[in-house]
Amino acid sequence: MPVKTVFKTSIEHISILDENGKFDEKLGKGLIPDKDLVKLYEHMVTCRHFDEVAFKLQRSGRMGTYPENRGQEATSLGAAYALRKTDWLVPCYRENAGLYWHGLPMEFVLLHWMGDERGNQIPDDVKMTPLAIPIGTQMLHATGLAWAAKYRGEDTIACTFFGDGASSEGDFHEAANFAANLDIPVIFFCQNNGWAISVPTKTQCSAPTLAQRGIAFGMDCIQIDGNDIFAVVKVVREAAERARKHKRPTFIEALTYRLGDHTTADDSRRYRDEAEVEVWIQRDPMIRLRKYMTDRKLWDDQKQKVAEENAKREVSATVKRAEEIADPEIKGFFDAMYAELPEELKRQRDTMRTSSIGQDPNQIESPLHAH
């Protein structure tokens, strides 16, 4: 039998606004209205300041740990802007900008990292799941949510965020295989920031792109400049339309970079070259967007000053709400487990003993706020 090619494909890379401020008018014209662009940039300013304050909260012992989002704001924010409020965002832990744009109150993230589970009690009107700390598990949840929406005949999709390291997890392959084989409307958004904690992407993946990992499952796959919010918006909109009309999943690889450590428990100076970091600082999504807006008379130094002042006020109020939240009822951990508490657990709750005999359990100081 003669040799014949049974499959051939290619991966496109999309960039609209590069780090030098060059804008592709053909691809980007009309993509984001000017007024929305200003709001998106102001949102980035607030989220960048939130990052700085959260870092200080951890260093001062007021929060357990924290993963900086600095440098990756355009990925989740661009996706949240392109999607509908009725769509599911299924994050890992570096998507603050997108989660806040989607409607999550800012203090919820602080509560999460302070160890207060109320930070994971997502408001009913916000379509997102709690932050996922185990690597890769959230992709399965996103696939399930999107499948449920399809089953019910709802015009809802799910977008899940994960890193380059998570694309090597078995959970990713299971979720991707399930989504592609059953025509499930889910977007797999891989934020390739070059490092799976201290392991470089080139070490944990021998393929030239991570985007091509979706090809084996029959997905549409694309790579984008993840620090270019225009490219993110364009590609996520197209993926969302594909998901709604054809119930097909898409794999998006967004090339980006975390400018800080993996978390406050990490020291990236031990494994990253400072010269590499300096290169990516010049590719900061905020720097290029501000330059673009300034060149088009949409932004100036005075507006920057006002935005920074507003960010300080908003983040300060957020910290106050998180730190001054009332102590939870100790009995609450029973009631939060089930929609209808089993009789056995009701008895345990009602007869619970504490170290302070005779004292009402709800009057005992919560360990979450003990000094």
Cα Rg of the chain (Å, integer): 22
Q: How many CB atoms lie within 10 A of CB 26?
A: 7
Using DSSP, state whether 354 is helix, strand or coil: coil
Cβ atoms of 259 and 197 closer than 8 Å = no
Q: Distance (Å, rounded) from C-alpha 285 to C-alpha 71? A: 7
Nearest to 72 by CA among 234, 189, 183, 188: 189
Angle (CA) 330-333-335 rounded to 5° is 110
Q: How many CB atoms lie within 10 A of CB 307?
A: 20
Nearest to 252 by CA among 241, 228, 240, 236: 236
Active site residues: 258, 262, 271
Cβ atoms of 14 and 221 closer than 8 Å = no
Residues 6+ apart with CB under 8 A from 186: 142, 143, 145, 146, 157, 158, 159, 160, 175, 179, 243, 249
Angle between helices 301-323 and 107-114 (to 10 degrees): 50
**Concatenated DSSP letters for 77-127?**
HHHHHHS-TTSEEE--SS-HHHHHHHT--THHHHHHHHT-GGGGS--TTS-
What is the DSSP-derived secondary structure letter of residue 340?
A: S
The identity of residue 62, as a single letter, is: R
Q: For residue 93, what are its two tokens? A: 């832990």
Cβ atoms of 192 and 164 closer than 8 Å = yes
Nearest to 41 by CA among 299, 318, 233, 302: 299
